Amino acid sequence: MKIQEILFETKHDDWDDEEEKPEDPDKDNVPHIVTQLRKSIDVEGNYPVKFRDGTQKKIPMELIKKFLMKYIKYKPADRERMQHEAGQSFEAFVKAAEEFSAPKAPKSIYT
């Protein structure tokens, strides 16, 4: 086999046609809940927050501050759980701001 034939084969590989198109990052229509809340704070609560259930609602500043103050106290895994719960709907957001709590660490048997 000649070198030109080898190069021609690799150039026209059968796998080139089967490449997957990259996913569109803008496909997710709901931005991150914390980002939306920070935008809302910047305009003094005059920014409608989108939820995964398709609704949009302007959230009072007191509730936003309450959520974010609680949010920054948690560890990353608990933050992720909290933002996931809060992003479902407005009712879930209120519940997360009012009632969300991280699970308590088990007590050590050595103390």
Length of the chain measured in residues = 111
Is 56 within a domain? yes
For 68-94, what is each residue's pLDDT tens digit? 999 999 999 999 999 999 999 999 999
Please report which confidence band the pLDDT of residue 30 belongs to, taking 50, 70 and 90 as the band edges: confident
Please report which confidence band the pLDDT of residue 27 belongs to, taking 50, 70 and 90 as the band edges: low
Is 77 within a domain? yes
Is 82 within a domain? yes
Specify the pLDDT at position 7: 67
Q: How many domains in the chain? A: 1
Specify the pLDDT at position 39: 94
Specify the pLDDT at position 111: 65
Boundaries of domain holding 87: 29-99
Specify the pLDDT at position 92: 95
Is 6 within a domain? no
Contact 60, 45 (CB under 8 A): yes
Q: How far apart are CA 31 and CA 71, in angstroms?
A: 17
